[in-house]
Amino acid sequence: MKAVLPDDLRDIFSKAGYLSSWYQYFKAGDWLVLLLGCALVVFSYTLLWRGGVADRAIVKRDGKTVIEISLNSARKISVDGPLGTTVIEVQPGRARVFSDPGPRQYCVQQGWLTRAGAVAICAPNHITLQLNGSGEAGYDSLNY
Protein backbone atom coordinates (compact mmCIF):
# COMPACT_ATOMS: atom_id res chain seq x y z
CA MET A 1 0.00 0.00 0.00
CA LYS A 2 2.72 2.39 0.91
CA ALA A 3 4.23 2.49 -2.53
CA VAL A 4 0.91 2.97 -4.29
CA LEU A 5 -0.99 5.52 -2.27
CA PRO A 6 0.01 8.99 -1.21
CA ASP A 7 0.78 8.75 2.47
CA ASP A 8 -2.06 10.98 3.59
CA LEU A 9 -4.62 8.72 1.93
CA ARG A 10 -3.48 5.49 3.46
CA ASP A 11 -5.23 5.88 6.74
CA ILE A 12 -8.72 6.24 5.28
CA PHE A 13 -8.50 2.55 4.59
CA SER A 14 -7.03 1.62 7.94
CA LYS A 15 -8.82 3.87 10.41
CA ALA A 16 -12.39 5.04 10.60
CA GLY A 17 -12.81 8.04 12.84
CA TYR A 18 -15.47 8.33 15.50
CA LEU A 19 -18.64 9.81 14.09
CA SER A 20 -18.93 12.28 16.94
CA SER A 21 -15.52 13.76 16.20
CA TRP A 22 -16.45 14.95 12.72
CA TYR A 23 -17.91 18.23 13.95
CA GLN A 24 -14.42 19.46 14.80
CA TYR A 25 -13.80 19.97 11.10
CA PHE A 26 -16.57 22.51 10.81
CA LYS A 27 -15.37 26.06 11.05
CA ALA A 28 -17.72 28.94 11.85
CA GLY A 29 -18.11 29.88 8.20
CA ASP A 30 -18.75 26.29 7.21
CA TRP A 31 -21.96 26.23 9.23
CA LEU A 32 -23.03 29.40 7.45
CA VAL A 33 -22.31 27.90 4.03
CA LEU A 34 -24.05 24.67 5.01
CA LEU A 35 -27.08 26.68 6.08
CA LEU A 36 -27.03 28.57 2.78
CA GLY A 37 -26.79 25.25 0.95
CA CYS A 38 -29.83 23.91 2.85
CA ALA A 39 -31.73 27.08 2.03
CA LEU A 40 -30.81 26.70 -1.64
CA VAL A 41 -32.06 23.11 -1.67
CA VAL A 42 -35.34 23.97 0.04
CA PHE A 43 -35.75 26.90 -2.32
CA SER A 44 -35.20 24.67 -5.35
CA TYR A 45 -37.86 22.25 -4.11
CA THR A 46 -40.43 24.97 -3.55
CA LEU A 47 -39.61 26.69 -6.83
CA LEU A 48 -39.53 23.65 -9.09
CA TRP A 49 -41.72 21.07 -7.42
CA ARG A 50 -44.38 23.42 -6.20
CA GLY A 51 -46.72 22.12 -8.90
CA GLY A 52 -49.02 21.14 -6.04
CA VAL A 53 -51.74 23.71 -6.15
CA ALA A 54 -53.82 22.82 -9.14
CA ASP A 55 -56.95 24.89 -9.53
CA ARG A 56 -58.31 24.09 -12.98
CA ALA A 57 -59.09 20.91 -14.87
CA ILE A 58 -58.96 21.09 -18.65
CA VAL A 59 -60.55 18.38 -20.73
CA LYS A 60 -59.49 18.23 -24.36
CA ARG A 61 -60.66 16.20 -27.31
CA ASP A 62 -58.29 15.97 -30.27
CA GLY A 63 -56.22 18.73 -28.67
CA LYS A 64 -59.13 21.17 -28.53
CA THR A 65 -60.42 22.25 -25.14
CA VAL A 66 -63.90 20.84 -24.56
CA ILE A 67 -64.41 22.10 -21.06
CA GLU A 68 -62.37 23.97 -18.48
CA ILE A 69 -63.63 23.90 -14.92
CA SER A 70 -62.27 24.97 -11.59
CA LEU A 71 -61.52 22.36 -8.94
CA ASN A 72 -63.80 23.97 -6.40
CA SER A 73 -66.73 21.64 -6.19
CA ALA A 74 -67.46 17.97 -6.82
CA ARG A 75 -69.06 17.09 -10.13
CA LYS A 76 -68.89 14.65 -13.01
CA ILE A 77 -68.56 15.54 -16.66
CA SER A 78 -69.22 13.32 -19.64
CA VAL A 79 -67.29 13.85 -22.84
CA ASP A 80 -68.00 11.94 -26.03
CA GLY A 81 -65.15 10.59 -28.14
CA PRO A 82 -64.96 8.24 -31.11
CA LEU A 83 -65.30 5.12 -28.92
CA GLY A 84 -67.93 6.34 -26.53
CA THR A 85 -68.27 8.43 -23.42
CA THR A 86 -65.42 9.28 -21.07
CA VAL A 87 -66.50 10.37 -17.62
CA ILE A 88 -64.31 12.83 -15.72
CA GLU A 89 -64.82 13.21 -12.00
CA VAL A 90 -63.82 16.42 -10.28
CA GLN A 91 -63.54 16.97 -6.55
CA PRO A 92 -62.13 19.92 -4.63
CA GLY A 93 -58.42 20.03 -5.49
CA ARG A 94 -58.31 16.92 -7.65
CA ALA A 95 -59.70 15.22 -10.73
CA ARG A 96 -59.63 11.80 -12.35
CA VAL A 97 -60.91 9.86 -15.32
CA PHE A 98 -63.80 8.00 -13.77
CA SER A 99 -64.49 5.74 -16.71
CA ASP A 100 -63.35 5.40 -20.30
CA PRO A 101 -64.25 3.07 -23.15
CA GLY A 102 -60.58 2.53 -24.08
CA PRO A 103 -59.33 -1.08 -24.10
CA ARG A 104 -56.39 -0.73 -21.71
CA GLN A 105 -57.79 1.74 -19.18
CA TYR A 106 -54.45 3.44 -18.56
CA CYS A 107 -55.98 6.83 -17.89
CA VAL A 108 -58.50 5.38 -15.46
CA GLN A 109 -55.84 3.45 -13.56
CA GLN A 110 -53.80 6.62 -13.19
CA GLY A 111 -56.27 7.58 -10.49
CA TRP A 112 -56.58 11.01 -8.96
CA LEU A 113 -54.49 13.81 -10.41
CA THR A 114 -53.57 16.48 -7.88
CA ARG A 115 -50.48 18.26 -9.19
CA ALA A 116 -50.57 21.18 -11.60
CA GLY A 117 -49.28 19.97 -14.94
CA ALA A 118 -50.40 16.37 -14.38
CA VAL A 119 -52.06 14.76 -17.38
CA ALA A 120 -54.15 11.66 -17.95
CA ILE A 121 -54.42 10.65 -21.58
CA CYS A 122 -57.15 8.40 -22.88
CA ALA A 123 -55.59 8.01 -26.30
CA PRO A 124 -58.06 5.55 -27.84
CA ASN A 125 -60.92 7.93 -27.16
CA HIS A 126 -58.87 11.04 -28.09
CA ILE A 127 -59.47 12.66 -24.71
CA THR A 128 -57.02 14.19 -22.26
CA LEU A 129 -57.52 15.50 -18.77
CA GLN A 130 -55.00 18.06 -17.58
CA LEU A 131 -54.64 20.05 -14.39
CA ASN A 132 -53.35 23.59 -14.40
CA GLY A 133 -52.10 25.79 -11.60
CA SER A 134 -52.78 29.43 -11.04
CA GLY A 135 -49.28 30.65 -11.85
CA GLU A 136 -47.37 30.10 -15.06
CA ALA A 137 -47.97 26.81 -16.82
CA GLY A 138 -46.41 24.06 -14.73
CA TYR A 139 -43.84 21.64 -16.02
CA ASP A 140 -45.15 19.06 -18.37
CA SER A 141 -45.01 15.72 -16.60
CA LEU A 142 -44.73 13.92 -19.93
CA ASN A 143 -41.49 15.54 -20.89
CA TYR A 144 -39.73 15.08 -17.62
Residues that bind another protein (CB under 8 A): 4-9, 11-12, 17, 22, 25-30, 33-34, 37-38, 40-41, 44-45, 48-49, 139-140, 143-144
Smallest separation (angstroms) from another protein to the CB of 81: 28
Residue with Cβ nearer another protein (32 or 67): 32
Residue with Cβ nearer another protein (10 or 75): 10
Q: Which of 58, 65, 61 shows the shortest CA–CA distance to 133?
A: 58
String of DSSP letters for 29-82: HHHHHHHHHHHHHHHHHHHHSTT--EEEEEEEETTEEEEEEETTS-EEEEEE-S
Residue with Cβ nearer another protein (49 or 112): 49
Smallest separation (angstroms) from another protein to the CB of 137: 11
Give the separation between CA 115 and CA 113, rounded to whole angstroms. 6
